Chain A
């Protein structure tokens, strides 16, 4: 059974870079046909898609975040990562990693809360 687990700092200072890693078990991140995505949810608010990477390294980003976001993959560790630069309090959210099949997400991590504060 596929499992995804987010990890990274729970507190980031304003203007710094948020860095998270998603560890994948029960399946290979190199499998064709899947995308590996990041989604966030500010406290008490809805879901916002951040971006994705596929098995060949092609990336897609939310237009409003494109200038600050990088999603990358490390196939040797079966992990993919998120970097979000120049963070502000508005970037405080629960960050989820997920595997996308086609256009839907059947598999999600449990999520990790990242707070942006000095």
Chain B
């Protein structure tokens, strides 16, 4: 079955750029999307169709997807961006989530 792999954790200083990767076989040939999840809350879609931002998501969130890797980039990271981030793809009529990356802003 298809898998996408994320690093378990990432630390970044406020104001710096955070780049969270998601790796999978020929992932660039599929659509990738990203969710932000804070404790006790449902996930929130922050990037869909590789690069698009839903209404209400700040411009500092951006995405790319090429080859075997999709990347979520948060430019000028804020303390409020500290959360778990999940990538998600679709393969063979199934939804596939990455294991999640815990982003710490300190």
Chain A facing B: main interface SS: strand
* A49 near B95: Cβ-Cβ < 8 Å: yes
Tell me whether A104 and B99 are in contact in the complex, defined as CB-CB below 8 angstroms, given that A47-B86, A63-B1 are known contacts: no
* A106 near B48: Cβ-Cβ < 8 Å: yes
List A contacts of B48 (CB < 8 A): 102, 104, 106
* A37 near B95: Cβ-Cβ < 8 Å: yes
List A contacts of B45 (CB < 8 A): 104-106
Give the CA-CA distance A2 to B90 in the complex, in Å.
23
Give the CA-CA distance A37 to B88 in the complex, in Å.
14
One of B31, B33, B42, B99 near A46 (C-beta < 8 A): B99
* A104 near B100: Cβ-Cβ < 8 Å: no
Contact with B along A87-116 (1 / 0, CB 8 A): 000000000100010111110111100000
Contact sample, A vs B, 5 pairs, CB 8 Å cutoff? A102-B48, A103-B33, A105-B45, A108-B43, A108-B44
Residues of B within 8 A of A (CB): 1, 31, 33, 35, 42-45, 48-49, 54, 86, 88-90, 93-100
